[in-house]
């Protein structure tokens, strides 16, 4: 790549401001770091206030720590308003915050269902609502990327609220794309497979469980958070100027692996 092209790539998001939820860890932190490296300013929402403050210390004027519980509409609206005030508007949004409670359906407490679906699904609605209001009011378009999961397509034992919530995020993103296209706001979803972040530390740190996951992944490894951040940034960039209402599976081939593989029996 010539220096000119390198500069262009490095400045892909110059003069853009992005809201990133879940910015304090894992995929959200990787998105925030990449955006800043490519010229953007970032409004980071998370409940992990200390980690946000540390990022603000590291990135200075390029990062606003906006602590907020994304399931709380007032907190979301105030945090986005703080970002708008600080950077005179927003251009992009990445809705990444997430976590889950697990349990078999016959035992699962309604509170655990509500906790999970509120966080992975309703919070995406609340964030898109307030991000999109701002983008529409500004009248210069924009792009929103919602992080769902492979589990939007593939169920998991004990994970019914998470999988159901993530499936809802995928469909909600299409609804939002439809409603916001006239305003020039694109909305897409990214569906990661296994990503090496604190969220899945219990799996990655327990070899037998990790190997059961890796057996399912044709590429034979988990993704690094940066490998999810990169396609998220692509969908938010002008390279994706005609892409809206779609879902991008980023799973090392996991979704396509669920068929009998007879090669170990000598089949070719």
Nearer to ligand NAD, 116 or 134 (CB): 116
Verify binding: residue 24, ligand NAD, rule CB under 6 A.
yes
The answer to the question of residue 202 lying near ligand NAD (CB under 6 A) is no
Using CB under 6 A as the binding rule, whether residue 27 contacts ligand NAD is answered as: yes
Return the number of the residue (32 or 240) whose C-beta is nearest ligand NAD.
Answer: 32
Which of 18, 19, 32, 147 is close enough to bind ligand NAD by CB under 6 A? 147
Residue 117 within binding range of ligand NAD, rule CB under 6 A: no
* Number of other CB atoms surrounding residue 240 within 10 Å: 18
Among 44, 159, 161, 192, binds ligand NAD (CB under 6 A): 192
Among 97, 126, 229, 233, binds ligand NAD (CB under 6 A): 97
Among residues 101 and 136, whose Cβ is nearest to ligand NAD? 101
Q: Exactly one of 102, 162, 234, 242 is catalytic; name it.
A: 162
Binding-site member from 31, 180, 194, 217 for ligand NAD (CB under 6 A): 194
Burial 49-79 (b: 16+ CB within 10 A, else e): eebbeebbeebeebbbbbbbbbbebebbbeb
Residue 98 binds ligand NAD (CB under 6 A): yes
Residue 28 binding ligand NAD, by CB under 6 A: yes
Out of 37, 38, 39, 48, the residue judged to bind ligand NAD by CB under 6 A = 48
Between 27 and 187, CB nearer to ligand NAD? 27
Nearer to ligand NAD, 98 or 142 (CB): 98
> Does residue 53 belong to the site contacting ligand NAD (CB under 6 A)?
no
162 is catalytic: yes
- The Cα–Cα gap between 213 and 66 comes to 35
Instruction: Using CB under 6 A, count the residues that bind ligand NAD.
Output: 27
Other Cβ atoms within 10 Å of 34 Cβ, number: 19
Q: Which residue has the tokens 């609206």?
A: 77
Pick the piece of the chain touching ligand NAD (CB under 6 A) from 130-138, 196-204, 210-218, 238-246: 196-204
- Tell me the catalytic residues: 162
Residues at the contact surface with ligand NAD, assessed by CB under 6 A: 22, 24-28, 46-48, 69-71, 96-99, 119-120, 147, 149, 192, 194-195, 197-200
């Amino acid at each position: 790549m010539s220096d000119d092209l390198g500069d262009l790539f490095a400045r892909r998001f110059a003069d853009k401001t992005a809201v990133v939820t879940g910015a304090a860890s894992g995929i959200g932190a990787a998105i925030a770091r990449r955006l800043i490296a490519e010229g953007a300013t970032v409004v980071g929402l998370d409940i992990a206030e200390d980690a946000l403050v540390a990022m603000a210390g590291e990135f200075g004027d390029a990062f606003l720590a906006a602590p907020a519980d994304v399931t709380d509409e007032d907190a979301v609206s105030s945090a986005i308003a703080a970002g708008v005030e600080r950077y005179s508007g927003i251009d992009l949004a990445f809705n990444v915050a997430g976590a889950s409670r697990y349990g078999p359906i016959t035992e699962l407490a309604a509170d655990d269902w509500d906790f999970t679906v509120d966080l992975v699904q309703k919070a995406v609605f609340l964030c898109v609502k307030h991000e999109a209001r701002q983008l529409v009011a500004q009248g210069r378009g924009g792009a929103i990327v919602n992080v769902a999961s492979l589990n939007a397509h593939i169920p998991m034992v004990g994970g019914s609220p998470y999988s159901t919530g993530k499936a809802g995020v995928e469909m909600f993103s299409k609804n939002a794309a439809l409603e916001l296209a006239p305003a020039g706001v694109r909305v897409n979803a990214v569906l990661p497979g296994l990503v090496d972040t604190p969220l899945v530390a219990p799996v990655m740190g327990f070899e037998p469980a990790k190997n059961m996951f890796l057996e399912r992944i044709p590429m034979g490894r988990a993704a690094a958070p940066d490998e999810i951040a990169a396609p998220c940034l692509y969908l938010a960039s002008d390279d994706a100027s005609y892409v809206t209402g779609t879902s991008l599976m980023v799973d090392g081939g996991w979704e396509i692996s669920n068929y009998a593989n007879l090669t170990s029996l000598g089949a070719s």
